[in-house]
Protein backbone atom coordinates (compact mmCIF):
# COMPACT_ATOMS: atom_id res chain seq x y z
CA UNK A 1 0.00 0.00 0.00
CA UNK A 2 1.19 3.52 -0.76
CA UNK A 3 1.68 6.48 1.55
CA UNK A 4 -1.32 8.10 -0.12
CA UNK A 5 -3.57 5.22 0.92
CA UNK A 6 -2.31 5.63 4.49
CA UNK A 7 -3.24 9.32 4.42
CA UNK A 8 -6.62 8.39 2.95
CA UNK A 9 -7.21 6.05 5.88
CA UNK A 10 -6.46 8.87 8.30
CA UNK A 11 -8.84 11.15 6.40
CA UNK A 12 -11.58 8.51 6.40
CA UNK A 13 -11.20 8.06 10.16
CA UNK A 14 -11.37 11.82 10.65
CA UNK A 15 -14.46 12.12 8.44
CA UNK A 16 -16.21 9.34 10.33
CA UNK A 17 -15.55 11.10 13.66
CA UNK A 18 -16.84 14.37 12.21
CA UNK A 19 -19.95 12.57 10.97
CA UNK A 20 -20.76 11.07 14.35
CA UNK A 21 -20.17 14.48 15.94
CA UNK A 22 -22.60 16.07 13.49
CA UNK A 23 -25.23 13.50 14.45
CA UNK A 24 -24.75 14.30 18.14
CA UNK A 25 -25.25 18.00 17.49
CA UNK A 26 -28.48 17.18 15.66
CA UNK A 27 -29.60 14.96 18.53
CA UNK A 28 -29.06 17.83 20.97
CA UNK A 29 -31.17 20.16 18.82
CA UNK A 30 -34.02 17.66 18.47
CA UNK A 31 -33.93 16.72 22.16
CA UNK A 32 -34.28 20.30 23.39
CA UNK A 33 -37.16 20.88 20.95
CA UNK A 34 -38.78 17.73 22.28
CA UNK A 35 -39.16 19.37 25.71
CA UNK A 36 -41.71 21.73 24.18
CA UNK A 37 -43.21 19.36 21.61
CA UNK A 38 -43.57 16.42 24.02
CA UNK A 39 -44.49 14.04 21.20
CA UNK A 40 -43.42 10.68 19.81
CA UNK A 41 -42.15 12.28 16.60
CA UNK A 42 -39.25 14.00 18.33
CA UNK A 43 -38.57 11.04 20.60
CA UNK A 44 -38.36 8.64 17.66
CA UNK A 45 -36.20 11.03 15.65
CA UNK A 46 -33.65 11.14 18.48
CA UNK A 47 -33.75 7.35 18.74
CA UNK A 48 -33.21 7.00 15.00
CA UNK A 49 -30.20 9.31 15.12
CA UNK A 50 -28.83 7.31 18.06
CA UNK A 51 -28.93 4.13 15.98
CA UNK A 52 -26.84 5.84 13.29
CA UNK A 53 -24.40 6.98 15.98
CA UNK A 54 -24.00 3.42 17.24
CA UNK A 55 -23.36 2.16 13.71
CA UNK A 56 -20.68 4.80 13.14
CA UNK A 57 -19.16 4.06 16.53
CA UNK A 58 -18.61 0.43 15.52
CA UNK A 59 -17.23 1.52 12.15
CA UNK A 60 -14.73 3.92 13.73
CA UNK A 61 -13.54 1.30 16.21
CA UNK A 62 -12.94 -1.11 13.34
CA UNK A 63 -11.08 1.53 11.31
CA UNK A 64 -8.86 2.53 14.22
CA UNK A 65 -8.13 -1.09 15.13
CA UNK A 66 -7.18 -1.89 11.52
CA UNK A 67 -4.85 1.09 11.32
CA UNK A 68 -3.11 0.16 14.55
CA UNK A 69 -2.70 -3.45 13.41
CA UNK A 70 -1.51 -2.86 9.85
CA UNK A 71 -0.28 0.72 9.45
CA UNK A 72 1.86 1.31 12.58
CA UNK A 73 1.16 5.06 12.85
CA UNK A 74 3.71 7.20 14.69
CA UNK A 75 3.85 10.52 16.52
CA UNK A 76 0.67 12.59 16.49
CA UNK A 77 -0.90 10.12 14.03
CA UNK A 78 -0.50 7.38 16.63
CA UNK A 79 -2.00 9.61 19.30
CA UNK A 80 -4.91 10.45 16.99
CA UNK A 81 -5.70 6.86 16.08
CA UNK A 82 -5.49 5.59 19.66
CA UNK A 83 -7.54 8.57 20.86
CA UNK A 84 -10.27 7.87 18.30
CA UNK A 85 -11.65 5.19 20.63
CA UNK A 86 -12.03 7.67 23.47
CA UNK A 87 -13.42 10.45 21.28
CA UNK A 88 -16.12 8.23 19.82
CA UNK A 89 -16.91 6.83 23.26
CA UNK A 90 -17.44 10.39 24.53
CA UNK A 91 -19.67 11.17 21.55
CA UNK A 92 -21.65 7.94 21.94
CA UNK A 93 -22.24 8.66 25.64
CA UNK A 94 -23.37 12.20 24.77
CA UNK A 95 -25.83 10.70 22.29
CA UNK A 96 -27.22 8.38 24.96
CA UNK A 97 -27.87 11.39 27.20
CA UNK A 98 -29.69 13.23 24.40
CA UNK A 99 -31.77 10.11 23.72
CA UNK A 100 -32.66 9.94 27.41
CA UNK A 101 -33.98 13.50 27.23
CA UNK A 102 -36.11 12.59 24.22
CA UNK A 103 -37.56 9.65 26.14
CA UNK A 104 -38.37 11.90 29.10
CA UNK A 105 -40.07 14.53 26.95
CA UNK A 106 -43.22 12.45 26.42
CA UNK A 107 -43.68 12.14 30.19
CA UNK A 108 -43.95 15.88 30.90
CA UNK A 109 -47.73 16.15 30.62
CA UNK A 110 -48.99 19.73 30.48
CA UNK A 111 -46.05 21.18 32.38
CA UNK A 112 -44.18 23.65 30.14
CA UNK A 113 -41.86 26.03 32.04
CA UNK A 114 -41.11 28.52 29.26
CA UNK A 115 -38.32 30.34 31.12
CA UNK A 116 -36.53 27.08 31.92
CA UNK A 117 -36.90 25.84 28.36
CA UNK A 118 -35.48 29.13 27.05
CA UNK A 119 -32.50 28.75 29.37
CA UNK A 120 -32.00 25.14 28.24
CA UNK A 121 -32.03 26.30 24.62
CA UNK A 122 -29.41 28.90 25.49
CA UNK A 123 -27.33 26.21 27.18
CA UNK A 124 -27.64 23.77 24.29
CA UNK A 125 -26.68 26.49 21.82
CA UNK A 126 -23.40 26.88 23.68
CA UNK A 127 -22.93 23.10 23.85
CA UNK A 128 -23.57 22.68 20.13
CA UNK A 129 -21.01 25.39 19.41
CA UNK A 130 -18.53 23.69 21.75
CA UNK A 131 -19.00 20.39 19.97
CA UNK A 132 -18.78 22.04 16.56
CA UNK A 133 -15.50 23.74 17.45
CA UNK A 134 -14.17 20.54 19.03
CA UNK A 135 -14.82 18.79 15.72
CA UNK A 136 -13.05 21.56 13.80
CA UNK A 137 -10.15 21.24 16.24
CA UNK A 138 -10.02 17.51 15.45
CA UNK A 139 -10.06 18.13 11.71
CA UNK A 140 -7.42 20.88 11.82
CA UNK A 141 -5.57 19.49 14.83
CA UNK A 142 -5.80 22.87 16.46
CA UNK A 143 -4.81 22.94 20.17
CA UNK A 144 -5.73 26.64 20.55
CA UNK A 145 -9.31 26.05 19.44
CA UNK A 146 -9.49 22.95 21.63
CA UNK A 147 -8.45 25.03 24.64
CA UNK A 148 -11.10 27.62 23.82
CA UNK A 149 -13.76 24.88 23.85
CA UNK A 150 -12.59 23.79 27.30
CA UNK A 151 -12.84 27.36 28.63
CA UNK A 152 -16.49 27.61 27.57
CA UNK A 153 -17.48 24.73 29.84
CA UNK A 154 -17.79 27.21 32.73
CA UNK A 155 -20.54 29.07 30.85
CA UNK A 156 -22.54 25.85 30.72
CA UNK A 157 -21.89 25.12 34.40
CA UNK A 158 -23.17 28.58 35.36
CA UNK A 159 -26.38 28.15 33.34
CA UNK A 160 -26.83 24.65 34.74
CA UNK A 161 -26.78 25.94 38.32
CA UNK A 162 -29.17 28.80 37.47
CA UNK A 163 -31.64 26.34 35.92
CA UNK A 164 -31.31 23.93 38.83
CA UNK A 165 -32.09 26.72 41.30
CA UNK A 166 -35.11 27.78 39.24
CA UNK A 167 -36.42 24.20 39.12
CA UNK A 168 -35.99 23.77 42.86
CA UNK A 169 -38.07 26.91 43.38
CA UNK A 170 -40.66 25.51 40.97
CA UNK A 171 -40.96 22.39 43.07
CA UNK A 172 -41.88 24.49 46.08
CA UNK A 173 -44.41 26.56 44.13
CA UNK A 174 -45.95 23.69 42.14
CA UNK A 175 -45.76 20.48 44.22
CA UNK A 176 -48.33 18.87 41.92
CA UNK A 177 -45.79 19.09 39.07
CA UNK A 178 -42.91 17.43 40.94
CA UNK A 179 -42.70 14.46 38.55
CA UNK A 180 -42.44 16.67 35.45
CA UNK A 181 -40.00 19.02 37.16
CA UNK A 182 -37.83 16.03 38.06
CA UNK A 183 -37.60 15.14 34.37
CA UNK A 184 -36.43 18.69 33.66
CA UNK A 185 -33.82 18.40 36.41
CA UNK A 186 -32.46 15.25 34.75
CA UNK A 187 -32.53 16.92 31.32
CA UNK A 188 -30.58 19.87 32.72
CA UNK A 189 -28.00 17.51 34.23
CA UNK A 190 -27.75 15.53 31.00
CA UNK A 191 -26.92 18.64 29.01
CA UNK A 192 -24.29 19.64 31.57
CA UNK A 193 -22.74 16.18 31.19
CA UNK A 194 -22.80 16.48 27.39
CA UNK A 195 -20.78 19.68 27.76
CA UNK A 196 -18.34 17.71 29.91
CA UNK A 197 -17.95 15.20 27.08
CA UNK A 198 -17.29 18.05 24.64
CA UNK A 199 -14.64 19.31 27.04
CA UNK A 200 -13.14 15.84 27.29
CA UNK A 201 -12.88 15.69 23.50
CA UNK A 202 -11.22 19.11 23.44
CA UNK A 203 -8.68 17.99 26.04
CA UNK A 204 -7.99 14.88 23.95
CA UNK A 205 -7.39 17.02 20.87
CA UNK A 206 -4.92 19.11 22.88
CA UNK A 207 -3.06 15.92 23.81
CA UNK A 208 -3.10 14.60 20.24
CA UNK A 209 -1.69 17.82 18.80
CA UNK A 210 0.85 18.69 21.49
CA UNK A 211 1.75 15.36 23.06
CA UNK A 212 1.03 16.90 26.48
CA UNK A 213 -1.79 16.12 28.88
CA UNK A 214 -4.19 19.05 29.26
CA UNK A 215 -3.96 20.20 32.88
CA UNK A 216 -5.71 23.27 34.28
CA UNK A 217 -2.52 25.26 33.78
CA UNK A 218 -3.35 25.18 30.07
CA UNK A 219 -6.42 27.32 30.72
CA UNK A 220 -4.20 29.88 32.45
CA UNK A 221 -1.93 30.03 29.43
CA UNK A 222 1.08 28.63 31.24
Q: Per the domain annotation, does 131 fall within a domain? A: yes
Query: CATH number, domain at 81?
Result: 1.20.58.220
According to the model, what pLDDT value does residue 221 have? 58
Domain membership flag for residue 217: no
* Structural domain count, the chain: 1
Report d(CA 27, CA 204) in Å as an integer. Answer: 22
Residue 64 included in any domain: yes
Range of the domain at 53: 3-212
- Determine the pLDDT at residue 157: 97
pLDDT of residue 129: 98
Planar angle of CA 61, 89, 94, nearest 5 degrees? 140
Roughly what angle, to the nearest 10 degrees, separates helices 178-210 and 114-140?
Answer: 20
* Residue 112 forms part of a structural domain: yes
For residues 56 and 71, is the Cβ–Cβ distance under 8 A?
A: no
Neighbours of 52 (CB within 10 A): 15
Q: Quickly count: other Cβ atoms within 10 Å of residue 151's Cβ.
A: 13
Whole-angstrom CA distances from 151 to 10, 57, 145, 148, 203 are 28, 27, 10, 5, 11
Return all residues near 156 (Cβ < 8 A) that are at least 6 apart: 123, 126, 127, 130, 191, 192, 195
**How many distinct helices (H) and strands (E) make up the chain?**
7, 0
Instruction: Write down the pLDDT at residue 7.
Output: 86
Torsion of CA 196, 167, 28, 20, to 10 degrees: 30
Residues of the chain with pLDDT under 50: 1-3, 222
pLDDT value at residue 219:
60
For 171-208, b/e burial (b = at least 16 CB within 10 A) is eeeeeebeebbebbbebbebbbbbbbbbbbbbbbbbbb
Give the pTM.
0.93
Residue 219, in any domain of the structure: no
Amino acid sequence: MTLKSYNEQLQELTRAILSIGGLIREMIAVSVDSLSAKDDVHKEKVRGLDKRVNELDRQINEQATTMLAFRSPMGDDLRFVTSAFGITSDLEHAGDLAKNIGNRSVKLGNYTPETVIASLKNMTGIIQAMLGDALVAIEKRDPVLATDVWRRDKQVDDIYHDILNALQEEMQKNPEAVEAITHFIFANKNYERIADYATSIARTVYYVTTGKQAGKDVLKGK
